[in-house]
Structure 1
Amino acid sequence: MAKLNQIIAVEKGAKSRAQRELTDIYHRIQKTPLLSGISRTYQPLDDEGEALPPESTRVQVKAEETLADAARALTRLFDITATKDWANCDARADVVVDGRTILAEVPVSHLLFLEKQLTDLHAFVDKLPVLDAAEAWTFDESADVWRTEPVKTTRTKKIPRAHVLYEATTEHPAQVETYTEDVIVGTWTKTGFSGALPARRVNELRERVAKLQAAVKFAREEANGAEVAEKKVGDAVFGYLFA
Structure 2
Amino acid sequence: MTKLNQILAVEKGVKSDVQRKVTDAYHTIQKTPLLSGISRSYQPIDDEGEQLPPESTRVQVQAETVLKEVGTSLTRLFDVTATKDWANCGAKADVKVDGDVLLADVPVTYLLFLEKQLTDLHTFIAKLPTLDPSETWALDENTDTWRTEPVKTTRTKKVPRNHVLAEATDKHPAQVQVYNEDVVVGYWTKVAFSGALPQRRINELLTRLQKLQDAVKYAREEANGTDITDQRVGDKVFAYLLG
Name the aligned partner's letter for residue 100 of structure 1.
D
Matching of residue 25 in structure 1 with residue 4 in structure 2: no
Alpha-carbon displacement from aligned partner over 1:6-57 (angstroms, at most 9, x marks no partner): 0011111111111122122222211111211112111111111112222222
Alpha-carbon displacement from aligned partner over 1:121-174 (angstroms, at most 9, x marks no partner): 111011100000100000000111100010100111111111223332222222
**Percentage of pairs with the same residue:** 70
Name the aligned partner's letter for residue 86 of structure 1.
W
Shift of 1:182: 1.1
Q: Which residue of 2 aligns with 1:84?
A: 84
State the alpha-carbon separation in 2 of the partners of residues 170 and 44 from structure 1: 156
State the alpha-carbon separation in 1 of the partners of residues 180 and 201 from structure 2: 51
Q: Which residue of 1 aligns with 2:51?
A: 51
State the alpha-carbon separation in 2 of the partners of residues 36 and 167 from structure 1: 127
State the alpha-carbon separation in 1 of the partners of residues 54 and 164 from structure 2: 138
State the alpha-carbon separation in 2 of the partners of residues 67 and 3 from structure 1: 32
Q: Which residue of 2 aligns with 1:107?
A: 107
Q: List 4+ stretches of structure 1 deviating above 4 A.
A: none
Name the aligned partner's letter for residue 54 of structure 2.
P
Matching of residue 71 in structure 1 with residue 103 in structure 2: no
Q: How does 1:1-243 map to 2 (within 5 A)?
A: 1-243=1-243
State the alpha-carbon separation in 2 of the partners of residues 105 and 20 from structure 1: 38
Name the aligned partner's letter for residue 130 of structure 1.
T
Alpha-carbon displacement from aligned partner over 1:80-135 (angstroms, at most 9, x marks no partner): 11000100111011111111222111111111111111111111011100000100
TM-score (norm 1): 0.97
Name the aligned partner's letter for residue 146 of structure 2.
W
CA RMSD of aligned residues (A): 1.1
Shift of 1:60: 1.8
Most deviating of 203-212 and 79-88: 203-212
Structure 1 gap ranges (5+): none
Most deviating of 35-44 and 77-86: 35-44
- SS class of match (1:152): strand
Shift of 1:197: 0.4
State the alpha-carbon separation in 2 of the partners of residues 207 and 180 from structure 1: 59
TM-score (norm 2): 0.97
State the alpha-carbon separation in 1 of the partners of residues 171 and 12 from structure 2: 113
State the alpha-carbon separation in 2 of the partners of residues 35 and 171 from structure 1: 130
Shift of 1:223: 0.5
State the alpha-carbon separation in 1 of the partners of residues 198 and 209 from structure 2: 17
State the alpha-carbon separation in 1 of the partners of residues 167 and 72 from structure 2: 121
Shift of 1:226: 0.5
